[in-house]
Structure 1
Amino acid sequence: MANVRELMARLGPSTVKFDTGCGGTPDLTNQDIAAALGMVPSGLGRELLEACWWPDGAALRRHRLRDAVIALVTPELQRQQRRLAEARTDLGLAEVCIGWGGSATAEQRANRDAAQQRLCRVKMQCWPISTLESLPTLAMAVINEIAQRAHCASCEGRGQTQPRELLMPCKVCGGSGLGQVSDRRRACAIGRDESTYRSKWRGVYEWLLRRMTEAEQEAAWALMITLNKGEGAAA
């Protein structure tokens, strides 16, 4: 079975026919691939699979990719806002205790200082305020990286190395099989300078990249299983 991502390229417009051979019935026709794609569970993974490897088809349903990405980030944004609100409330309560008559005790001051530090940590962990308005740019940059990212040079895309006859996850890519991408390249992709990317945008970008990569890989796996079943039935 060829890489299913490469098979999806057949679905795009081309002057070359990939589904014909030197006679007989082709192993997989474009109709087979399209039908198998339709059997992949709907959601972010399938939308990303099309956006990365069949952009002409994805262009007809941009709203589905938009909705899927928004559905992905909304719970995380809500979680961050809840943590921020809780941290602010804790600080307010600590300050109220200090001002509740009499002199502040050492314990009250310690509680206030701890609450202030927690609020600072939570603020640093939250995504930038402009994340939602920047989401289209972020999502497109991540999609382009998934579609164009080179294989890890150390393990040649396998995600594993075999020192002394023992298979082990590649230390360079962490087992992903993907090559490294610099902060400068990612910053350029979202229209930010490198220092701003590192201080404000790296967290949200890498979060999106992890989850979108996982979703795309799951969809590709589902497509491969469907195609394999189809080949088995044809045999």
Structure 2
Amino acid sequence: MRMNNARELLSSRTGPKTMSFDGSAGGPTTQEIVAALAYVPHGLGHELLQAMWWPESGQRRREQLRQAVIALVAPEFTRQMHELADARTHFGIAKASMGWCGGTVTDAQRRELRRAEKALDDARAAAWPNNTMEQLGVLAGAVIAEMVGACECDRCGGRKVLPDPAGSGVVNCGDCGGSGCEPLSGRKRAGAIGADWSAYSRFWRPVYEWMLANFRAAEARAARQFSKALTMTA
């Protein structure tokens, strides 16, 4: 069963029966749909599958979704903060070592200071905003809304890939970044999280795009598992 068909069945929530040519009912029952969903491992993908395609159930599982989003984002945010703190420490050490106790400043010390300063600048540029965790609910809601309302990419038709112009094989579609979905403009994303364009572009875009890529991967994985389970239980 194709993933899109499985998603449509889940969004129906009633397991509608289709009629075959001989007049008998076909298709999975509600019980089979619920049973198949139980085979999807718990985690972000499981919660997104319900939040996106079974909103009534998703409303009841808001706490599970919150925990799953935090479990995804918090380790990455913590890693970035640790790298930034380490870079600040190393820069402080390099600066303090310049002409230690009135000694001569050496070329090696200057090189180390420049290296440490660049590492600090790089860590600052890569770090998400300090209030990322406080804004997590707003960000997650905007990302999920974009996923639910996503249209197929005009260029690749939702296939995610295009023929490689340099030779045989295929390459990721450059317009959609290999997602198969038409991306929202930065201005629309900014509006969805209550930020202006400049703030989104400067601070929030890396967070948003990272979350969107990981959410899509988790939901697609869960949809494949759900589709496979439907095939087994039907």
Q: What is the TM-score normalised by the length of structure 1?
A: 0.89
The more displaced of 212-221 and 105-114 is 105-114
Q: Check whether the contact 2:52–2:144 (CA below 8 A) recurs between aligned residues.
A: yes
Q: Which runs of 5+ in 1 are unaligned?
A: none
Residues 126 and 163 (structure 1), Cα distance of their counterparts in 2 relative to 1, 3 Å cut: closer
Quote how far apart the aligned CAs of 1:99 are.
4.1
| TM-align CA RMSD | 2.1
- Return the alpha-carbon distance in structure 2 between the equivalents of residues 167 and 86 of structure 1: 43
Q: Check whether the contact 1:19–1:30 (CA below 8 A) recurs between aligned residues.
A: no
Answer yes or no: is 1:222 the counterpart of 2:220: no
Q: Report what 1:19 is aligned to.
A: 17
Q: Check whether the contact 1:97–1:108 (CA below 8 A) recurs between aligned residues.
A: yes
Q: Report what 2:142 is aligned to.
A: 141
Q: Which runs of 5+ in 2 are unaligned?
A: none
Q: Check whether the contact 1:45–1:217 (CA below 8 A) recurs between aligned residues.
A: yes
- Aligned partner letter, 2:16: F
Q: Check whether the contact 1:95–1:112 (CA below 8 A) recurs between aligned residues.
A: yes
Residues 85 and 161 (structure 1), Cα distance of their counterparts in 2 relative to 1, 3 Å cut: closer
Quote how far apart the aligned CAs of 1:113 are.
2.3
- Aligned partner letter, 1:121: D
Residues 8 and 192 (structure 1), Cα distance of their counterparts in 2 relative to 1, 3 Å cut: same
- Aligned partner letter, 1:145: E
- Return the alpha-carbon distance in structure 2 between the equivalents of residues 193 and 62 of structure 1: 28
Q: Report what 1:81 is aligned to.
A: 81
Number of equivalenced pairs: 227
- Return the alpha-carbon distance in structure 2 between the equivalents of residues 123 and 67 of structure 1: 27
Q: Deviations over 1:185-218 (max 9, x none)?
A: 1101100011110000001101101111100000
Answer yes or no: is 1:172 the counterpart of 2:170: no
Quote how far apart the aligned CAs of 1:162 are.
5.2
Quote how far apart the aligned CAs of 1:230 are.
2.3
Quote how far apart the aligned CAs of 1:167 are.
5.5
Answer yes or no: is 1:182 the counterpart of 2:190: no
Q: Report what 2:153 is aligned to.
A: 152
Give the 4+ runs in structure 1 shifted more than 6 A.
none
Corresponding residue to 2:8 among 6, 9, 14? 6
Q: Check whether the contact 1:160–1:167 (CA below 8 A) recurs between aligned residues.
A: no
- Return the alpha-carbon distance in structure 2 between the equivalents of residues 216 and 163 of structure 1: 27
Identity of aligned residues (%): 43
Residues 167 and 176 (structure 1), Cα distance of their counterparts in 2 relative to 1, 3 Å cut: farther
Residues 162 and 126 (structure 1), Cα distance of their counterparts in 2 relative to 1, 3 Å cut: closer
- Return the alpha-carbon distance in structure 1 between the equivalents of residues 216 and 156 of structure 2: 19
- Return the alpha-carbon distance in structure 2 between the equivalents of residues 225 and 183 of structure 1: 36
Quote how far apart the aligned CAs of 1:24 are.
2.5
Quote how far apart the aligned CAs of 1:160 are.
3.2
Q: Report what 1:198 is aligned to.
A: 201
Answer yes or no: is 1:124 the counterpart of 2:122: no
Q: What is the TM-score normalised by the length of structure 2?
A: 0.89
Q: Report what 2:112 is aligned to.
A: 111
